């Protein structure tokens, strides 16, 4: 006597196995089949839902349906705050005086370099200038 395969047991569960006499003769296969039947039953049994739970669910759906899709007062308040912030930031940037650029040289440095340019461009000492006039027409 050969035992049923899992596939045969599955077929039996769904009424597709025409020959079920084997289960009466074989206690092993009967045990497996009952086991499988119990698992199927547990998986397919609908959970118990209380009437109160369903009623609350319905009430909740109705409440949400009655509520407007957009909360306009809140959206308006939020938009106003955003606009105010935007205006504040823009005003701050527009009205703020430009950052003062530090000059590369201080006024004292400029005087120093002005003197140095004069020295650099003069080709003769001051003492010589009267002598040079002797050579100029």
Binding site for other proteins (CB under 8 A): 100-105, 109-110, 112-117, 119-121, 123-128, 131-132
The nearer residue to other proteins, 83 or 105, going by C-beta atoms, is 105
CA distance 124 to 118: 11
Looking at the Cβ atoms of 50 and 101, the one nearer to other proteins is 101
Least distance CB 136 / other proteins (angstroms): 13
- Beta carbons within 8 Å of 22's beta carbon, 6+ residues apart: 1, 4, 29
Residue 93 CB, shortest distance to other proteins, in Å, is 19
Q: How far is the CB of 68 from other proteins (least distance, A)?
A: 54
75 membership: H or E segment, kind and range: helix 72-95
CB–CB of 32/4 below 8 Å? yes
Q: Which residues lie below 8 Å from residue 8, measured CB to CB, with a gap of 6+?
A: 17
Based on CB atoms, which residue is closest to other proteins, 15 or 103?
A: 103
Q: How far is the CB of 132 from other proteins (least distance, A)?
A: 8
């Amino acid at each position: 006597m050969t035992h049923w395969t899992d596939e045969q047991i599955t077929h039996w569960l769904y009424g597709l196995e025409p020959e079920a006499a084997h289960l009466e003769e074989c206690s092993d296969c009967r045990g497996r089949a009952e086991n499988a039947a119990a698992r199927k039953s547990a998986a397919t049994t609908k959970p118990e839902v209380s009437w109160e739970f369903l009623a609350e669910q319905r009430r909740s759906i109705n409440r949400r349906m009655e509520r407007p899709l957009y909360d306009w007062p809140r959206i308006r308040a939020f938009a106003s705050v955003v606009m105010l912030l935007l205006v504040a930031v823009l005003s701050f940037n527009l009205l703020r005086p430009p950052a003062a650029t530090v000059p590369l040289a201080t006024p004292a440095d400029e005087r120093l370099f002005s003197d140095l340019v004069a020295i650099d461009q003069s080709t003769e000492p001051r003492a010589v200038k009267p002598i040079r006039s002797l050579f100029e027409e």
